[in-house]
């Protein structure tokens, strides 16, 4: 099996079930390029493997994923031209171009189309989520067919309130939260619990955090018993229905809006930073107030 640095791949039942675990625990499983390239490789390897029927995507540590890695030294070294640790993926697929062209192409390949490819994987996929699932963490979860959550799971896209952005690159929010709830959650940065997400039809099962791994595996075993052709055509019937309802085109349109939003900030800033700054009215994440639960009977929850 391929050696990975930022993820782990576990195999069960003679390879019928593969479990991919995000494994940047000390960085709250923030997604940098190295992790995303490995994740894509692991998904495609599972897809290519005819023994594999179900893929679980989970995470080591107390946090599923805090989103894209914008600030760690490792992530910066991976994306800085001339750095000895420059990730090779930054020199292709638009990475050697400049301006909005560079950003649009790189985000298309590594954030948008990666996610869409995983959503259309020719296997049944289960997200196994615990702790916080913020911003781009949602993209990983939403790409999966079913979501199993620990009772401590919390979901939020905070890029509106913390980065001045209109959402993550894969804008599935209205399809998952509903249109009006998406506006509320994006305009406030508030979070929803696993129970809330189950009420929205987003989460299928909720288990105590310490039982999550075992219960998700049991659930995967139940699903893996179905004939592979039947399982794939069930998935595909739903995905094609959703695509005919406009899902695919809406995602493309919102990706373009996302790029416009980045370009706006880059145009305003001397250093070309592509997200908002405190002087723009966007508090830095270090000083931003904590993310709180979207409560129906208060303007802003106490905690």
Is 121 in contact with 144 (CB distance < 8 Å)? no
Q: How many of the chain's residues bind Zn ion (CB under 5 A)? A: 1
Tell me the closest approach of the beta carbon of residue 71 to Zn ion, in angstroms: 15
Tell me the closest approach of the beta carbon of residue 114 to Zn ion, in angstroms: 13
- In this structure, what token pair is assigned to residue 191? 């979070």
40 or 145: CB nearest Zn ion: 40
68 or 235: CB nearest Zn ion: 68
Distant-in-sequence, close-in-space partners of 230: CB < 8 Å, separation ≥ 6: none
Region 75-134 residues binding Zn ion, contact defined as CB under 5 A: 107
Tell me the closest approach of the beta carbon of residue 176 to Zn ion, in angstroms: 19
Dihedrals φ, ψ of 67, to 5°? 110, -160
Tell me the closest approach of the beta carbon of residue 298 to Zn ion, in angstroms: 31
Residue nearest to Zn ion (CB): 107
107 or 157: CB nearest Zn ion: 107
19 or 68: CB nearest Zn ion: 68
Local structure of residue 273 (DSSP, 8 states): -
Residues in the chain: 303
Tell me the closest approach of the beta carbon of residue 121 to Zn ion, in angstroms: 23
Distant-in-sequence, close-in-space partners of 94: CB < 8 Å, separation ≥ 6: 101, 102, 104, 105, 106, 108, 109
Give the whole-angstrom CA distance, residue 113 versus residue 229: 25
Give the number of other Cβ atoms within 10 Å of residue 88's Cβ.
10
131 or 164: CB nearest Zn ion: 164
Strands 192-193 and 146-150: unpaired
Region 160-189 residues binding Zn ion, contact defined as CB under 5 A: none
Contacting positions for Zn ion (CB under 5 A): 107
């Amino acid at each position: 099996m391929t050696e990975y640095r930022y993820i782990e791949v576990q195999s069960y039942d003679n390879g019928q079930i593969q479990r991919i675990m995000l494994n940047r625990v000390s960085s709250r499983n923030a997604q940098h390029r190295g992790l995303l390239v490995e994740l894509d490789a692991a998904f495609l390897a599972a897809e290519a493997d005819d023994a594999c029927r179900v893929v679980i995507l989970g995470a080591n540590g107390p946090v599923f994923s805090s989103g894209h890695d914008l600030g760690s030294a490792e992530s910066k070294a991976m994306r800085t031209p001339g750095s000895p640790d420059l990730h090779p993926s930054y020199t292709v697929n638009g990475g050697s171009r400049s301006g909005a062209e560079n950003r649009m192409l790189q985000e298309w390949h590594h954030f948008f189309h990666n996610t869409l490819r995983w959503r259309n994987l020719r296997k049944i996929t289960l997200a196994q989520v615990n702790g916080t699932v913020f911003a781009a963490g949602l993209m990983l979860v939403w790409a999966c067919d079913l979501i199993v959550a620990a009772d401590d799971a919390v979901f939020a896209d905070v890029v509106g309130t913390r980065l001045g952005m209109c959402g993550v690159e894969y804008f599935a929010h209205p399809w998952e939260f509903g249109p009006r709830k998406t506006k509320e959650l994006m305009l406030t940065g508030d979070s929803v619990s696993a129970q809330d997400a189950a009420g929205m039809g987003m989460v299928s099962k909720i288990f105590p955090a310490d039982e999550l791994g075992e219960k998700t595996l049991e659930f995967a075993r139940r699903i893996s018993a179905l004939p592979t052709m039947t399982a794939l055509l069930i998935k595909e019937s739903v995905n094609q229905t959703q695509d005919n309802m406009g899902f695919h085109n809406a995602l493309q349109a919102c990706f373009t809006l996302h790029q416009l939003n980045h370009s706006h900030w880059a145009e305003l800033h001397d250093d070309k930073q592509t997200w908002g700054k405190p002087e723009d009215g966007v508090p830095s994440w270090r000083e931003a107030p904590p993310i709180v639960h979207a409560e129906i009977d208060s303007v802003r929850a106490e905690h």
